[in-house]
Structure 1
Amino acid sequence: MHDEFDGGLLEEELRRAAAILDPVPAGLRQLAIDAYVLHNVDARVAELTFDSLLDAVPVRGAQDVPRMLTFSAGELTVDVEIGGDGLMGQVLPPRPARVEVLGGPRTAAEVTADALGRFTAAAPPAGPFALRLHTGGDVIVTEWLRA
């Protein structure tokens, strides 16, 4: 008697074994769902073009140096400095904007950039974060980074 291989049955058995032996944590599953909800079809993505952790030359003896980041989306640039006192940045060319500091599925802070494009947030981001800028009719979202 020759048994025929059933790929669907094998897949189902492997799924059950994985669910028992190595389940996806509920928090991680919810974070993935919430991250998808953050997806904004109309938003442009601002790519990271400079990160002082990767691109800067270290200064000998310097301690607690703030992290400098630059994001670009077309003609728009966002410069960000992250330090122990929080986050500050500037939208260039200068323009007012509403800036959301995203921390996981929720907005960790919402601040307003002034007419010169400057903004500050009191607490530095903890863990993965991104910025979502609302400037005029545009929505721009930065890449996600770990603070």
Structure 2
Amino acid sequence: MITKAIRNCLANAKERKWDKTYWAFDIHGTILRPTCQTGVISTEFYPFAKEVLQLLSTRKDIVRILYTCSYPNEIVEYVKYFEDHQIHFDHVNENPDVGAGAYGFYERKFYFNVLFEDKAGFDPLTDWEDVLKLIQTFEI
């Protein structure tokens, strides 16, 4: 469950005195309901996704990475769409902050602490609400 991953991430950050953590977010089937139509970008948020991402966008200790297979022209549209909803991503499909280092080689697979991805088990119909409750209840 995503809340367990978030709790583990934050516990590690506190223990290791990290000043930031890296959270990657897929778009389709995770943040927005897919249109399944070529050339038509998705615009319908899953319940609580917008609220969670807006709250996370205010945090300086969470680096938000947009993780998507969208075409470059669609990425431009999505970034603008999210910005219009006060949702900000620091990077798209990369994490230039972390490269090769003591914990691994991140030149071809970018580093993240938490992954929001429907294909990795994230359920957008239930998990966003759980994440919202978590971030409202605990200081993160």
Higher strand residue share: 1
Higher helix residue share: 2
TM-score (norm: length of structure 2): 0.26
TM-score (norm: length of structure 1): 0.25
Q: Which has the larger radius of gyration?
A: 1
Larger RCO, structure (CA 8 Å, separation 6 or more): 2
